[in-house]
Structure 1
């Protein structure tokens, strides 16, 4: 059976034949060479047509080749950031338009398997190329693992536009990035791993998503990369881009920018952001395709600008009051950058409010800042310090994991 509306490596080869397609370490492969490698790898999958085949990101080069080979042989890649060996796909029936299956991180609940068709990404890629003026860009790179939605999205965007893709890590040689380069990453990647990027002078565009970018951190990144245009986007594995903004000067606190073309948002009873767009995923496994996507994020639309006010799963139940970590962070980050607020279990209050920082500061300074803007019941009960924020597998900060680390005694109280 012919797959409908499917990603076609053959078409890309006919358009970009001898152009560089992929740089891994010191090796660069053209689109033609990439196609030949994929064709060889496809021999392992060609007799398994219509099957779901799991791949993990143990070695990026093999991951890319296998992902493309599975698609070439009319199978369905299941991209897993960690082993889920108990999962079975026997008797799983997928629409012929299915591109791949992915696994949500589960930071707001149990991990879920979702699936996506090619056209939903293609429409978004076309708008990315137009809005962000990527025609002049020669390299598109990411610091995110390929098993994350951001990492895989960046890889396929790069190939679709005929660019050279590079996974930015310690094995990536800066000599291959002497041409104009665009970076897609989460904010924590640049803020906590600057040693990887400090010798790359040709970042022309930086796109940050998958984490809250504070005004202070936006300024820090602009100072580190003054030659680059800085963009921020908001979205999820299930929605792709919901909104975006170009940050030329000061970042407005909590702003997620303007809506991506053809995206509409509404809000639930608790201000949950509900997205309607042509870029939505195809559904969770075993469930029908959604017409809308109800996110875990809370927000409000002011004019044509979307503002994020928190996440439903992150709200702290503090003595019956629902406290948004975003609200507290917005205040304390003005006097002390790099503070994260999260809830920890408490037998009397339900949860206590904890504040974690990597800065050298005092509790007195933070309380004075909070006193000017927030009622006392929203102040943190616990003040903690660490040398570096621990990150989840997808390089984001997980408040759930921070609470678990606190319970293990991994932070110093001050």
Structure 2
């Protein structure tokens, strides 16, 4: 049975009254209205009513089943634990609950072991209301994502679409963009579109706006995406599971070096002693397990502010300790971006320097040309010591780059030196 929730819980019944006959989910070529989704959720609640465990693990499965189960768990005053993999190490107890808990999620683990975080509904609602106004989302009919629903970006996009009365699409290949109805927007990561940048056989589609996060786009990357989606406006956003949006920028016509854009409305950022980014906003998460809600959040990234504009220097964990100098991989990658098709810089252990700088590339110019060009663009201690070539740069299951995994692959002899 669907129960009446507090104002800090997802208002499914209110949305049903407002949008009842409108399509809300498109799954396997079939559209479901709010009324039809509501009936599916009602049916699913029978499995979760009077559940003694309260916290129910929910992993990726059939998208429609995931959506109905997620909503049914929430509406029966239980709590979903979301993740692409959930082991017994994440053993949540009733004591971990608060009345404000909307769901539990897992961080991606790209900077360490995945952590369980707690999110409340009002923190997302405030962000959704802000996105609606800031990006004129009332003008679109469909909202799509390529990110799995078990990721914070995928689930965030799903709930944004349902809350705003838009038809939601989950896509896993570039050609599915042609199925989007009406004016549409896409929330994705750069790698999803850049992997398909060599495919020029995509006919015109209704995609009008593209929001990209989870990776820093180079000028070359922006150019490739614009060539393929010339009719769409491009926005880049910066944030995390813990913070939601921190900053955003219109990159349709390019962007400044290292730019992460202007701060999201009502968001404040300060810079720590070691250039760490400290965020205060109404969109913050409610803390990790056994933690009280934080007043601010120190991200894993380093950066600086200039006139309310945020610039990123890379992740603290990714900094390369080369001879006592802290080198940001992003600076090397930016300098080399036009010298190859794609590149990633990372550190590899070295007894003399602590770490040497490795640069892994797809279709680079010659090593001699690389060394000459980079010597002109970078300080001497920032120039790569090792030049590697590959046909493909591997990604994690969340379509992100893990520099620690690349370093391990190098140690295993998986890449050829130029």
TM-score, scaled relative to structure 1: 0.95
For the residues of structure 2 that align with 1:102 and 1:200, how far apart are their CA atoms? 36
Which of 337, 342, 347 is the equivalent residue of 1:338? 342
Aligned pairs, number: 414
For the residues of structure 1 that align with 2:94 and 2:86, how far apart are their CA atoms? 21
Contact preservation (8 Å) 1:57, 1:81: yes
Q: Provide the secondary structure at the position in 2 that maps to 1:404.
A: helix
Deviation at residue 49 of structure 1 after TM alignment:
6.3
Deviant stretches of 4+, over 6 Å: none
Deviation at residue 168 of structure 1 after TM alignment:
0.9
Task: State the match for 2:251 in structure 1.
Answer: 247
Contact preservation (8 Å) 1:230, 1:246: yes
Task: State the match for 1:125 in structure 2.
Answer: 128
Deviates more, 1:184-193 or 1:79-88: 79-88
For the residues of structure 1 that align with 2:200 and 2:131, how far apart are their CA atoms? 26
Task: State the match for 2:157 in structure 1.
Answer: 154
For the residues of structure 1 that align with 2:406 and 2:104, how far apart are their CA atoms? 29
Are 2:271 and 1:267 aligned?
yes
Deviation at residue 204 of structure 1 after TM alignment:
0.2
Task: State the match for 1:60 in structure 2.
Answer: 63
Contact preservation (8 Å) 1:49, 1:75: no
Structure 1 stretches lacking a partner, 5+ long: none
Q: Provide the secondary structure at the position in 2 that maps to 1:283.
A: coil
Contact preservation (8 Å) 1:5, 1:119: yes
Q: Provide the secondary structure at the position in 1 that maps to 2:165.
A: coil
Are 2:328 and 1:328 aligned?
no
Which of 76, 79, 83 is the equivalent residue of 1:76? 79
Deviates more, 1:302-311 or 1:158-167: 302-311
For the residues of structure 2 that align with 1:153 and 1:296, how far apart are their CA atoms? 21
Question: Can you list the C-alpha shifts for 1:249-284, whole angstroms capped at 9, x where unaligned?
Answer: 122121011000010000111100000000000111
Deviates more, 1:234-243 or 1:321-330: 321-330
Task: State the match for 2:400 in structure 1.
Answer: 396
Task: State the match for 2:144 in structure 1.
Answer: 141
For the residues of structure 1 that align with 2:31 and 2:402, how far apart are their CA atoms? 35
Contact preservation (8 Å) 2:270, 2:279: yes
Question: Can you list the C-alpha shifts for 1:321-369, whole angstroms capped at 9, x where unaligned?
Answer: 2111111112111433421101122233222211111224221121111
For the residues of structure 2 that align with 1:263 and 1:197, how far apart are their CA atoms? 41
Deviation at residue 408 of structure 1 after TM alignment:
2.5
For the residues of structure 1 that align with 2:407 and 2:34, how far apart are their CA atoms? 46
For the residues of structure 2 that align with 1:197 and 1:103, how far apart are their CA atoms? 37
Task: State the match for 2:26 in structure 1.
Answer: 23
Q: Provide the secondary structure at the position in 2 that maps to 1:81.
A: coil
Are 2:369 and 1:365 aligned?
yes
| RMSD value, Cα | 1.9
Structure 2 stretches lacking a partner, 5+ long: none
Deviation at residue 199 of structure 1 after TM alignment:
4.2
Contact preservation (8 Å) 2:90, 2:116: no
For the residues of structure 2 that align with 1:212 and 1:227, how far apart are their CA atoms? 22
Task: State the match for 2:300 in structure 1.
Answer: 296
Deviation at residue 77 of structure 1 after TM alignment:
0.5
Deviation at residue 93 of structure 1 after TM alignment:
3.4
Contact preservation (8 Å) 2:200, 2:228: no
TM-score, scaled relative to structure 2: 0.95
Q: Cα distance 1:5–1:245, how it changes in 2: closer, same or farther (>3 A)?
A: same
- Give matches, 1:344-383, under 5 Å: 344-383=348-387
For the residues of structure 1 that align with 2:178 and 2:382, how far apart are their CA atoms? 50
Q: Provide the secondary structure at the position in 2 that maps to 1:335.
A: coil
Deviation at residue 131 of structure 1 after TM alignment:
0.7
Deviates more, 1:279-288 or 1:75-84: 75-84
Q: Provide the secondary structure at the position in 2 that maps to 1:345.
A: strand
Task: State the match for 2:38 in structure 1.
Answer: 35
